[in-house]
Structures are given as C-alpha cells and as structure tokens.
Amino acid sequence: MREGTDQTPVAGVKNRSPLLCSYAEQYQRSKPFDGLTIGVCAPLTPHTGLFADVLATGGGEVLVTGEAGSTHADVVEWLRERPGVTPLAAAGMTADELADTRETVLEAEPDLLADDGAFLLSLVHDRFPEIARGVRGACEQTTGGITRLLAMDEQDALSFPVYDVNGTPMKQHFDNVHGTAESSLSAITSLTDTMIAGSVAVVAGYGHCGRGIARKLRALGARTVVTEVDPRKALEALADGHDVEPMADAVADADLVITATGRYQVLRREHVDTLADGVVVASIGSAIEIDDSALADEATSNTTEKPGVERYELPDGRRVTLLTEGKVVNLAAPGRSGNPSHVMDTTFAMMTRGLADLADSDLPPGLHPVPDHLDREVAHEKLSAMDVDIDQVTAAQRDYHDRWETHDSTKPDEQ
C-alpha cells in the first residue's frame, strides 16, 4: 500500500473537513483577511490548527492560544512552520502561563477575535479597553462563552459586534447534539471499559448536549434519568421517554453520571452522600460542574488507575470513579481532541464565514445572531460535499405562502 503524502498532524482532520479545505483554496485568491490581525483562543487540537491555517491563508496574521489540558504539541510544532501563524500555547502550560499568552494575543491589537469560552472577549473588555475599541468584531462558538456574553450585552459592556456562532442551527443541531455526545461517550467507554447496555445513566441538563447524549445512551440500551432546573426541558425529557428526578435521588442508583449544563457544582457535596457504589462520574459541559474537592475531602483514599481515571473510596466503602478530574471528557481524556472532524468542519466553517463577514461589517457593538443566510450556505456546502441533494421551494409554494390576503386555504390555485 502506498503511504499517504500528508504526514502532518492535521492530515486526518483535513480528510474530513471539506469546507475548511475549500475555503483555504478560495482564500488563496480572495484574501478576505488581508492586513488583519486575528486572535484565536480554543483548545489547540488539530481542528483548531487547521482553522488557524485557513485564516492565515486568507491573509490574516493569526495568533493562537489554547485552553488548559488540551494543547497538542505536534499541532503547535506544525503551526510554527505555517506562514502567518504564531502559536503561543504549548502543551503542559499552567493556567497562569496560558493567561499570559492571552494577554500577548491582545497586546498585538487584533482586528478580529475567534473565541471558545469568551476568554479573550472578557479579558479584552476587562483589562484592555483601549484595544477593545480597535477590534472590528468577534465570533464565539460555545454555550459557556455565550452565557458570559449575554451578561455583558445586557450591561452594554461590549465595544464591538460579536457573532453568536453557538446559537446557529448548524452548531446546535450537529456539533452540540451529535458531535459532543458521540465523542464523549466513546471517551467514557474507552477510559472505563463501561458497558452502557443495561446500565442506569444519569444526565444532568437536557439542553443540546444533554439531549444528544441521553438519546444515544438510551439507544445503546441504558435506562436514562435526566435532571433539570428548567420545567420545560424536564417535560421534554419525559416526553422523549427518559425518567426525570432531582440529582440527589437520581445518583442513588446510577452506574454513570454525566453533567452537561455549563453550570457550577451541579454534582456537589450533598450528592456525594447518596452516590451509588461503583458509579462513574464525568462532565461533558465544563470543568466547573463536578465538585471534585468535595469527593477528595470525603474520600479515605484516592487512586489514579490510569491517566484520566481516578477512583475515590468513601468511608462506608463506596467507590466513585471520576474521569479527567471533572474536565470535559471528550477533550481532556488522553489522546482525545474533542468532537469529530465532520462536525468541527461545519463549526469552524461558521466561525470562518462569520469573521470574514465581520471584517467588512458596520454592525453596532453587541451580541448578534449569525445572519441566517450564512448558516444556510454552510449547510448547503456541507450537503454538497457529502453529495446529498435536497428539494427546492417551488414558485407556487412561495407564492401561496407569501399571500396574506384572506383566501380559501384549501384551493390555492383558484385564487
């Protein structure tokens, strides 16, 4: 068999990222980011590496930083050789070192920002307001980041327009629902050798990520229990066939507890008292959802079975396995790089299209939805790359639905 020619750490991602690869080809000519400095902050995985390279191909001077525990050393080395890209994060950096790299990004006075968790966006407004005034626009791709930005927007604290990429149908329905669920479940089962079929799985939060993982767990044969704080989401979970209980009750029978809320201490000290013996606990939402210090305080011993798998023994003999110290398991588990390339292609395509749009935009400061036509275009491009055709709205359908005057709705052609 002939050996593949592309031996770079992004080779596999490129094979499953037709949109980013097609933008790279177009941008060699059109250069939408010519003369612009772009700051990127996201887990520095092969996907982010390819994204940064596409922005640089489009003429941008791109500075890239990352998040704790997810920087791939080989991607950093590869990016060092790419024209127009400066990687600032390195594998193994402490939180303080990473914070310094974020300041370095902002000190370069970026025109555009691409963020994951609003790390750059909160820092630039809080500590570098002069630099914030020079930013043309930004894109944010996560639920957690958008929660912070909504608070900033309500207080009129944003100095430039920010696109809510997380709010696009393309991001929510594919990346959050399917990508996160699949990559997290495969990380959990490969770390723990857990059998899903026949188990009791508790999912905290029935938003996009929680719904996705609860459905997949049930499809694999688990008995699923959802915990929620939003009564409408709780009803939706019931209607979808899951049980709904408060966390304190749900954990008593659980084999697996997965948090998917983005909220602080969803699994906390009071729940440690009722956790079932042998339970596996993981977060797919964020690193703040599981109070690991409560486990550590209550436990009589703590053993690292292998990287990413810690077993706590409680005084009454119950054993609790915590995955990846409560950090998001699909990113923090050894050898993992988050969601599958197939969905990261569309998410980073939305980020790329959003940044190109903002480079020339006169939008006022504040949090804005991504224009719907961009979301549709990305969806069409993805379908076309997958060689899938869909129907078109006919002229008669458009005409019928556009008419607002009173008419006999059963006989459109006789009007």
- Nearest Cα to 340, choosing from 203, 176, 198? 176
Residue with tokens 């790279």: 24
Restricted to residues 189-208, the positions that interact with ligand NAI (CB under 6 A) are 204-208
Q: How far apart are the C-alpha atoms of 64 and 354, rounded to whole Å?
A: 18
Write down the least CB distance from residue 233 to ligand NAI, Å. Answer: 4
CB of 178 to ligand NAI, least distance (A): 10
Taking residues 331 to 370 in sequence order and writing x for each that binds ligand NAI by CB under 6 A, - otherwise, the string is -------xx-------------------------------
Per CB under 6 A, does 261 bind ligand NAI?
A: yes
d(CA 161, CA 345): 24
Using the minimum distance from each CB to ligand NAI, give the nearer residue, 18 or 205.
205
Site string for ligand NAI, 130-149 (x = CB under 6 A): ------------xxx-----
Token reading at 184:
């997290």
Q: What CA–CA distance (Å, rounded) separates 90 from 68?
A: 10
71 binds ligand NAI (CB under 6 A): no
φ, ψ of residue 366 in degrees (nearest 5)? 135, 175
Smallest gap from residue 123 Cβ to ligand NAI (A): 18
270 part of the interface to ligand NAI, by CB under 6 A = no
The yes or no reply on residue 257 touching ligand NAI (CB under 6 A) is no
Is residue 57 at the binding interface for ligand NAI, with CB under 6 A as the rule? Answer: no
The per-residue DSSP string of 10-48 comes to THHHHHT-HHHHHHHHHHHHH-TTTT-EEEEES--SHHH
Of 39 and 262, CB closest to ligand NAI = 262
157 binds ligand NAI (CB under 6 A): no
Q: C-alpha angle 63/66/70, rounded to 5°?
A: 145
Binders of ligand NAI: how many residues, by CB under 6 A? 29
- Minimum separation from the CB atom of position 359 to ligand NAI (A): 26
From the list 173, 263, 268, 319, which residue makes contact with ligand NAI (rule: CB under 6 A)?
263
Q: How many CB atoms lie within 10 A of CB 205?
A: 27
250: which residues sit within 8 A by CB, 6+ positions away?
Answer: 202, 225, 227, 243, 257
Does position 224 interact with ligand NAI (CB under 6 A)? The reply is no
Helix (H) or strand (E) holding 161: strand 161-164
The CB-of-193 to ligand NAI minimum distance in angstroms stands at: 21
DSSP state of 392: -
Candidate list 53, 140, 182, 228; residue touching ligand NAI; CB under 6 A: 228
Give yes or no for a contact between 220 and 198, defined as CB atoms under 8 angstroms apart. Answer: no
In one-letter notation, the amino acid at residue 121 is L
- Decide: is 176 part of the binding site for ligand NAI (CB under 6 A): yes
Q: Render the burial of 231-261: b for 16+ CB within 10 Å, e for the rest.
A: eebbebbeeeebebbebeebbbebbbbbbbb
If one asks whether residue 330 binds ligand NAI (CB under 6 A), the answer comes out as yes
Looking only at residues 282 through 301 of this chain, which bind ligand NAI when binding is defined by CB under 6 A?
284-286
Q: Does 281 bind ligand NAI (CB under 6 A)?
A: no
Closer residue to ligand NAI (CB): 63 or 309: 309
Which lies closer to ligand NAI via its Cβ, residue 105 or residue 209? 209
Counting runs of H as helices and runs of E as strands, what totals does the chain give?
Answer: 19, 15
Closest CA to 181 of 216, 138, 206: 216
Question: If phi over 0 gives left and psi between -120 and 50 gives alpha, with beta otherwise, what is residue 412?
Answer: alpha
Nearer to ligand NAI, 57 or 180 (CB): 180
Q: Which of 157, 229, 363, 385 binds ligand NAI (CB under 6 A)?
A: 229
Position with the least CB separation from ligand NAI: 207
Binding segment toward ligand NAI, per CB under 6 A, in 51-59, 95-103, 281-289, 391-399: 281-289
Distance (Å, rounded) from C-alpha 161 to C-alpha 139?
Answer: 9
* Sole window of 52-60, 131-139, 221-229, 397-405 interacting with ligand NAI (rule: CB under 6 A): 221-229
Q: Which residues bind ligand NAI (CB under 6 A)?
A: 142-144, 176, 180, 204-210, 227-230, 233, 260-263, 266, 284-286, 328, 330, 338-339
